[in-house]
Amino acid sequence: MGIVLSVQVAPVKGIEKQAVQQVKAVKNWGLENDAHAGTGDRQVSIFPIEALAKVPLEKQIEVNTGLYTENITISGIPLDQLSVDRQIRIGDDTIIQIKHIGKEVHKDYNRPYIISREGRFGVVLQGGIIKKNDHVELV
């Protein structure tokens, strides 16, 4: 079982996200007050902290000092289990289905370097409240 390390939202696309204590996940929409919410298949971004092990040595300081660009940072679930079409439950209610790993175009700077390669992007199948220290489990 994994754990939520942090939760972040941003009202505008293209800016770093700000940490919040909790956020409401809305079915078929995404996270309240986040610019990426909508009807698409990248409503929510999830970053498994274990992916930092894939950052090349020459990029580590840059990536680790960058601010958040993902909505939910998690730990404790192996990367290979966070595959496309996999569903995860966060807290008691929220279920997110992973639709993509990484982005079509990779970024080469700061935290987006690893998010664009290893971030998980998906849709909210079942809404609920997500907060720091919530449990994360595979469905």
CA distance 85 to 75: 19
Q: Residue ranges of the domains in the chain?
A: 2-138
Average the pLDDT over 111-139 and give the result.
96
- The 10 Å CB-count burial string (b at 16+, else e) for 41-79 is ebbbbbbbebbeeebeeeeeeebeebebbbbbbbeebee
Is domain 2-138 annotated with CATH 2.40.33.20?
yes
User: C-alpha angle with apex 91: 89 to 95, nearest 5 degrees?
Assistant: 30
* Tens digit of each residue's pLDDT (9 = 90 or more) over 3-30: 999 999 999 988 889 999 999 999 999 9
CA distance 94 to 96: 7
The pLDDT mean for the chain works out to: 95
* Tens digit of each residue's pLDDT (9 = 90 or more) over 38-57: 999 999 999 999 999 999 99
Is pLDDT larger for residue 47 or for residue 67?
47
Please give the model's pTM, rounded to 2 decimal places: 0.94
